Chains A and B, each alone.
Chain A
């Protein structure tokens, strides 16, 4: 019995929460994602960078220091990856 590989970028609870949230929205800022995921700022920042490096989300940063504003938006590659991930998971149950 062959199982589809799960995307290692998405197979992480915090990154998956961020992707699921952004999949439902046009965009969301860092403050909202932090509140939603209940993650620490440092951890969230690291996971967002990983998703950005994978090309799954686009991050726009404006300002610096305390007044900085980070807005995240899912990319078409991110939408496809999340769909593939969900299909892969569902295929486990259909066997």
Chain B
């Protein structure tokens, strides 16, 4: 093999890999979005009806349902593409980190009984930042905008303290719609139509 062939082999192979690099995980955004929005909406309604602290533990349904679904979606994607890119790993690592913070924070704030102070705005921020990072990685503007809007709403929801704290839960519902559901479907649609 000639030396210039070797460089060509490297360049050509990298080019082919780039061509095979199809985005994956597009079903994850709507899945997490719907799960989050429905769960927190239910939490809000139940709180209005019963005013029991048990209503605020409904969030546990999100990881219990979402994690197995996420595993199935990722596994199917991997079976289809046979590859994992650095970008998809970075995005997945962030969402795993966010899920850990969400879970740990949920238990910590829940047991300390201070969930009304920072837990819900923190969830909004984690979702918003995650959507922003994912949007930057997959270069999809609606996701970037949705992420920024979600993060902004997260900051705003810090203001909802005292008697208004329960509306922080509605902020999470809105963030789930703005940062996950809408950009998720738009992204899926753009891939289908090759935009």
Contact = CB atoms under 8 A, between A and B. Distances in A.
Interface of A: 6, 11-13, 16-17, 20-21, 23-29, 31-32, 35-36, 82, 85-86, 89-90, 92-93
A90 B1 CA distance: 15
A89 B3 CA distance: 6
**B: interface residue count bin:** 20 to 34
A13 B1 contact: yes
Interface of A is mostly: helix
Contacts of A24: 13-14, 17-18, 85
B91 to A, nearest CB: 11
B192 to A, nearest CB: 23
Contact of A25 (B1, B4, B7, B17): B17
Q: Which of A6, A20, A82, A92 has the most CB of B within 10 A?
A: A20
Nearest to B7: A89
A29 B9 CA distance: 20
Contact of B17 (A16, A36, A86): A36
Interface of B: 1, 3-7, 9-10, 13-14, 16-18, 20, 81-86, 88-89
A26 B89 contact: yes
A60 B6 CA distance: 27
Given A20-B14, A21-B17, A27 B6 contact: no
Contacts of B17: 20-21, 24-25, 36
B86 to A, nearest CB: 5
Contact of B9 (A6, A20, A27): A20
Contact of A28 (B4, B5, B18, B82): B82
B123 to A, nearest CB: 28
A31 B7 contact: no
Contacts of A25: 17, 83-86
22 contacts: A6-B3, A16-B6, A16-B9, A16-B10, A20-B10, A21-B16, A24-B18, A24-B85, A25-B84, A25-B85, A26-B84, A26-B85, A26-B88, A27-B84, A28-B82, A32-B82, A32-B83, A36-B16, A36-B17, A36-B20, A89-B6, A93-B4
